[in-house]
Amino acid sequence: MADKKPLIISKIVIDRDLCIGAATCVTIAPGTFKMDDENKAVLVDIRGDEAETILLGAESCPTKAIFLYDENGEQIYPYV
Amino acid sequence: MDIEHLIIGGGIAGATAAETIRQHDPRGRIRVIGNEPHPVYSRVLLPHVADGRAKENRVVIRTAENLAAKGIEYVTGVSVVSVDAAAKQVAVSDGSSCGYGKLLIASGGTARRFDGPGDEHCTYFRTLDDLRVLMSTARVGTALVYGGGFNAIDLAVSLARRGARVTCVMRGDGFLAKSLDQRSRVAITEAMERHGVTIMTHRELRSVERKIGGLMAHFSDGGNAASDLVGVSLGVIPNIGFLAGSGIATASGVVVDEKLRAADGIYAAGDVAEYLDLRAGSHRIAGNWMNAMFQGKIAGANMTGADLVFDLVTAYSIACFELPITFMGGVDVAVDERIVRPHASGGTLQLFVKGDRAVAATCIGPFTDRGAVTKLIADRIVLSEAAKKAAADPRTDLAALLS
């Protein structure tokens, strides 16, 4: 396995059109995401959870609606 | 031991379990056997592709390479044909066999077929291959969708968004009729009708016939309807056939306890797992994404020595055009009463109450109280008679019932 470098998430984008309100992200990373009145996920605090937890929250999204970027603007997630 | 952790099923439950096992066990060999010849993909995204909002390649969540980078062997296009639990070995459809240390059954489910005359002319909407068949249908001017569940709604909405004139036919008294009150069913019907979808209830499909220029569906009441496509959505049957004679207990699915154990060293997760839901007090299958993913996590952890109980209140949401539909917890569980809380804009929030606790909820329309409802169910908050009465009043802040 590759050497682990520290995960730094500098930007989170949620595609409202893709979000179906499954709320898995909120279940995993409740400090970072919440559901709004239209049942769409929105960002609460980019530092609301550990970076690994936020990544897990993004990975859990069934519609891949959560995009994570590092400090150089490179997309961390989705991987594909 | 050759394969330490063998996982039957390449969906989200199996893939999540494999990744979780790897977090706890850096070295043991992990193999995932998936019968669909595809990477791990999201069924939840299929409607987005069907209606043109997303490209097909977006459905992929993990490739074999992604998993290989974590030291997970991902074998697809073959299926496990039998399990010998005593010998700790499975037989695979390519004629090979595979021994294991611990086994996870995450084999999912298959769309229930209509099975009447002309079933071969019907379109299903469960797998990536189903999606490809649907997308290859040259022209869908008119479509008939038979069924009353989430998948039928998704299919009808996708076809309508593609410009088809859609008629929905179902046996019951509206969409999701077993779980929803009348006001909620009306809200869904109205959302459909606003977008030109026609709804026909209390009608049973008898046969489908290919005619020149399209299909003809025949109903039990003697009526019939012509359309370019007949979509069928009658639920999902857990994939347990290969477990016959294995010694692993099955009912509707693989029977597991609250720790997702079927037997010593054998676990199940996802759409195939008939797990002991402690909140409901009975075994049930919860066929949704969130359930599959978190059961994969719990099963994976328990396979590597943890002793975790699966106790999450899982929910699933779709949109019927602009109308949000959310089911939370075991709406299929027998309850004592349903508290119906009408939304001013149409639809309701229902709380399913067993004794003095809420065990499940449905929300048709904006789910502004989602946080409070999740907590009511998850934390097993006791509801007094006065609290139940207050909950039915939409002016009551449900968060006030939490204290």
pLDDT of B292-349, one tens digit each? 999 999 999 999 999 999 999 989 999 999 999 999 999 988 999 999 999 999 999 9
**B280 vs B250 pLDDT, higher one:** B250
Please report how many Cα atoms fall inside a 13 Å half-sphere around the Cα of residue B95, on the Cβ side: 0
Lowest mean pLDDT across A11-20, B136-145, B169-178: B136-145
Q: What is the pLDDT of residues B125-152, one digit of tens each?
A: 999 999 999 998 868 899 999 999 999 9
Q: What is the ipTM of this complex?
A: 0.84
pLDDT of residue B139: 80
Measured between CA atoms, how close is B327 to chain A, in angstroms?
10
Q: What is the pLDDT of residues B8-40, one digit of tens each?
A: 999 999 999 999 999 999 999 999 999 999 999
A80/B290 touch (CB, cutoff 8 Å), yes or no: no
What's the rounded mean pLDDT across residues B181-199? 98
B367/A27 touch (CB, cutoff 8 Å), yes or no: no
What residues 43-72 of chain A have any CB closer than 8 A to a CB of chain B?
Answer: 59-60, 62-64
Q: pLDDT-based confidence at A4, cuts 50/70/90? A: low
Indicate the DSSP class of residue B345.
T
Measured between CA atoms, how close is B35 to chain A, in angstroms?
20
3-state secondary structure of B382: strand
N-terminal to C-terminal alpha carbon distance within chain A: 19
What's the rounded mean pLDDT across residues B349-373? 94
Q: pLDDT-based confidence at A20, cuts 50/70/90? A: confident
> Which residues on chain A are in Cβ contact (under 8 Å) with B318?
20
pLDDT of residue B86: 95
Nearest alpha-carbon partner for B190 in B318, B368, B321: B321
Q: Radius of gyration (Cα) for chain B, nearest Å? A: 22
A23/B289 touch (CB, cutoff 8 Å), yes or no: no
| CB-based contact B393:B341 (threshold 8 Å) | yes
Cα distances (Å, whole numbers) of residue A31 to A35, A43, A54, A75, B400: 12, 9, 9, 21, 22
pTM: 0.94
Measured between CA atoms, how close is A1 to chain B, in angstroms?
6
pLDDT of residue A1: 44
Nearest alpha-carbon partner for B335 in B178, B184, B188: B178
| CB-based contact B132:B49 (threshold 8 Å) | no
> Which residues on chain B are in Cβ contact (under 8 Å) with A20?
44, 317-319
CA dihedral B328, B332, B334, B335 (to 10 degrees): 30
Measured between CA atoms, how close is B118 to chain A, in angstroms?
33
**pLDDT higher than 80, residue A80:** no
A39/B60 touch (CB, cutoff 8 Å), yes or no: no
Taking the C-alpha atoms of residue B58 and residue B37, their distance in angstroms, rounded to an integer, is 16
pLDDT of residue A2: 47
A80/B48 touch (CB, cutoff 8 Å), yes or no: no
Q: Does A3 touch chain B (CB under 8 A)?
A: no
Most B CBs within 10 Å, among A55, A64, A75, to test the B interface: A64
A63/B312 touch (CB, cutoff 8 Å), yes or no: no
Provide the number of CB pairs (under 8 Å) joining chain A to chain B.
78
